[in-house]
Amino acid sequence: MVRKKINPPLEKSHRITTTDDIEVSTYLEIAKEKSGAQPAAKEEAVSPAKREAIIVLDFGSQYNMLIARRVREAHVYCVLLPHDTPWEKIEPLNPKGFILSGGPASVYEENAPLAPAYVYEKHLPVLGICYGMQAITKQLGGKVAHSTKREYGHAIMHISAENSPLFAKLPESTPVWMSHGDKIEEMPPGFKALAYTENSPMAVIGNKNNIYGLQFHPEVVHTPEGKTILQNFVHNVCGCKGNWTMGNFVNESIERIKEQVGKGKVINALSGGVDSSVVATLIHRAIGDQLTCIFVNNGLLRREEADRTLKVFNNNLGMNIIYVDATDRFLNRLKGVIDPEQKRKIIGEEFIRVFEDEAKKLGEVDFLAQGTLYPDVIESVSSVSNVSATIKSHHNVGGLPARMTLKLLEPLRFLFKDEVRLLGDELGLPEEMVWRQPFPGPGLAIRCIGEVTKEKLEILRAADFILMNEIKKANYYHQLWQSFCVLTDVRSVGVMGDFRTYGYLAAIRAVTSEDAMTADWARLPYDLLARVSNRIVNEVDGINRVVYDITSKPPSTIEWE
């Protein structure tokens, strides 16, 4: 194993201002209190935030995270909190309005979750979405009933109110997306119907105190004007200025990291992926050489990947990086293994061992930095009925904090993936690093079908490199969620010149996707595919046939293993 220590200059730290940890820590604390679990990492006290915030109270809808996302797109900070969060936890966030989310319950059921009294008593604007609207109706004296006809899917909303601030810039009729089994039978006193659909005469309701209800879901893409409605709510109704920017976030985070870390030492597992790169850069801005990054080359990276990562972080940014070439360790453990899940398990375990070995050599370390994102945090704790306190661990370093008793430093845990990319841009990271396609933690091991060997990895790397070059040259790279080669375990007969060949079958996988939950195979031009196939067969020894994977997810998955 080769271990290289690279010494950095100290980066000048920036001046900083406020706080940002309270929201999610609040969420976690509440979730933990409910589940009786102990907090994994002690949260430090935070000073009151001056930033304006919209609070989404979570009643369990699967779209809740999207609400927060849409509000943030309007440059207003937004957090998702359990529906019964006490006011003391909300007040320091400087709330400018509430959004009550959708949810699976029925308001007329016994013990149905409802909004806390402060939602109606603080005289802040309120927007109820679907279940949230029904909760408002019930709590303010209206009637909700089970509908004999469940309304699911598209509907056309017609606006009947004149000059409602909620509908600014909206056409008179617009498609909306419904998903509800209950309906409003009687509005609460003082409320008016502001818009209707064919099946819902009260598709939107509101009163003079800026309390609104929407029967449909404005947060999903199937409601094309939904984003405008949410923007209207936060800007026109709540009066938010929309001053939440990445520049602010950088300054606030740097302040926060400095406060949290003090004179402590931080380690970070740098993979060269977007999240770990952004985490490292942000922390480095805050505390300079108190941060050490450990970059483990597991021998399963793509061509030039390790060199490029080291160049950016060592040469350009001057970080403390320990580079560990652990190729042999990983490949020895993967010998003879063909089961994909076993490959993943071995790679995860070995990573932890190598990381621990290196970390121990550093002496006393106080914090482990991780690239946990907001969806990870929310997914772990958000369900109303099934609150779990387990924080999803970064898949590469899961288990480390418990074994090494390190405190966690997770500066991205309020951000969505695309916000992390914007942050990377703001921090000046190279575009190819910030906007790169996702690469799985287990690397080429799950793209090398069957046993992983050095020889097969070299063949796969060569083919993948050609594909990536051609995709980039044809300007497809950023349009695709992922594009890569798979080296199958199949060999087939070919003819080259006058000779018979018996070589590997390579597959090209290129998909479009929003979030990797579903994906479609990319309709790449035949000419591009022909060029890639030609080059691979001609330039890569060992491959004599190339196929294009034309299956979507589902029923397939993006990776082959």
Query: Which positions are annotated as active-site residues?
Result: 130, 217, 219
Closest approach, Cβ 439 to ligand XMP, in A, equals 7
Q: What whole-number distance in Å separates Cα of residue 513 and Cα of residue 380?
A: 23
Among 132, 213, 424, 442, binds ligand XMP (CB under 6 A): 442
Least distance to ligand XMP from the beta carbon of 144, Å? 39
557 binds ligand XMP (CB under 6 A): yes
With residues binned 3-state (H G I as helix, E B as strand, rest as coil), the percentages for the chain, rounded to 5, are: 35, 25, 40
**Interface residue with ligand XMP, options 171, 224, 438, 525 (CB under 6 A):** 438
In contact, 462 and 303? CB cutoff 8 Å: yes
**How many C-beta atoms surround the C-beta of residue 364 within 10 A?**
6
CA dist 211 → 184, 332, 514 (Å)? 15, 63, 33
Closer of 90 and 444 to ligand XMP (Cβ): 444
State the CB neighbour count (10 A cutoff) for residue 13: 15
Q: From residue 391 to residue 410, what is the string marking binding to ligand XMP with x (rule CB under 6 A)?
A: ----x---------------
User: 266 and 284 in contact (C-beta within 8 Å)?
Assistant: no
Choice between 169 and 478, CB closer to ligand XMP? 478
The answer to whether 247 contacts ligand XMP (rule: CB under 6 A) is no
CA-to-CA distance for 48 and 39, rounded, in angstroms? 22
> CA quadruple 221, 227, 230, 233: dihedral positive or negative?
negative
Q: Is 553 in the site for ligand XMP (CB under 6 A)?
A: yes
Least distance to ligand XMP, CB of residue 82, Å: 28
Which residue reads 């939107």 in tokens?
204
Q: Which is nearer to ligand XMP, 223 or 483 (CB)?
A: 483
Chain residues 472-531 in contact with ligand XMP, contact rule CB under 6 A: 482, 516
Cβ-based nearer residue to ligand XMP, 395 or 478: 395
Phi, psi of 485 (to 5 degrees): -100, 150
Strand partners of residue 32: none
Nearer to ligand XMP, 404 or 516 (CB): 516
- Our finding on whether 375 is near ligand XMP (CB under 6 A) is no
Among candidate residues 254, 263, 324, the one with its CA nearest the CA of residue 293: 324
Q: Which span sits near ligand XMP by CB under 6 A: 259-267, 288-296, 374-382, 440-448?
A: 440-448
Q: How far is it, in rounded angstroms, from Cα 171 to Cα 176?
A: 12
Contacts of 118 (CB under 8 A, 6+ apart): 87, 90
344 binds ligand XMP (CB under 6 A): yes
Judged by beta carbon, residue 303 or residue 553, the one nearer ligand XMP is: 553
Name the token pair of 405.
């008793």
In the complex, least distance from residue 406 CB atom to ligand XMP, rounded to whole angstroms? 21
- State which of residues 8, 218, 440, 503 lies at the interface with ligand XMP (CB under 6 A): 440
Nearest CB to ligand XMP, comparing residues 265 and 553: 553
Smallest separation (angstroms) from ligand XMP to the CB of 446: 6
Q: Which is nearer to ligand XMP, 318 or 348 (CB)?
A: 348
CA distance 327 to 454: 9
Examine residue 558 and tell whether it contacts ligand XMP (CB under 6 A): yes
Comparison of 264 and 398: residue with beta carbon closer to ligand XMP: 398
Part in contact with ligand XMP (CB under 6 A); list of ranges 58-66, 224-232, 248-256, 552-560: 552-560
Task: Please state, in angstroms and rounded to a whole number, the distance separating the CA atoms of residues 214 and 128.
Answer: 6
Among the listed residues 512, 514, 510, the one whose alpha carbon sits nearest the alpha carbon of residue 547: 510
Site for ligand XMP in 8-47 (CB under 6 A): none
Site for ligand XMP in 166-195 (CB under 6 A): none
Least distance CB 331 / ligand XMP (angstroms) = 18
- Determine which residue in the list 441, 465, 471, 543 makes contact with ligand XMP, applying CB under 6 A: 441
- Measured CA to CA, the distance from residue 40 to residue 76 in angstroms comes to 29
Q: Rounded to the nearest whole angstrom, what is the least distance from the CB of residue 560 to ligand XMP in the complex?
A: 8
Q: Is 559 in the site for ligand XMP (CB under 6 A)?
A: yes
**Closest separation in Å from C-beta 520 to ligand XMP:** 12
Closest CA to 329 of 308, 350, 312: 350
Give the interface segment with ligand XMP, choosing from 35-43, 255-263, 383-391, 434-442 (CB under 6 A): 434-442
If binding is defined by CB under 6 A, does position 308 make contact with ligand XMP?
no
Residue 487, judged by CB atoms within 10 A of its CB (0-12, 13-18, 19+), counts as: buried
DSSP 26: H
Can you give 367-436 as a three-state secondary structure string? EEECCCCHHHHHHHHCCCCCCCCCCCCCCCCCCHHHHHCCEEECCCCCCCHHHHHHHHHHCCCCHHHHCC
- Rounded least distance, CB 340 to ligand XMP, Å: 9
What is the size of the binding site for ligand XMP (CB under 6 A)? 12
* Stretch of residues binding ligand XMP (CB under 6 A), selected from 8-16, 373-381, 438-446, 538-546: 438-446
Positions in the binding site for ligand XMP (CB under 6 A): 344, 395, 438, 440-442, 482, 516, 553, 557-559
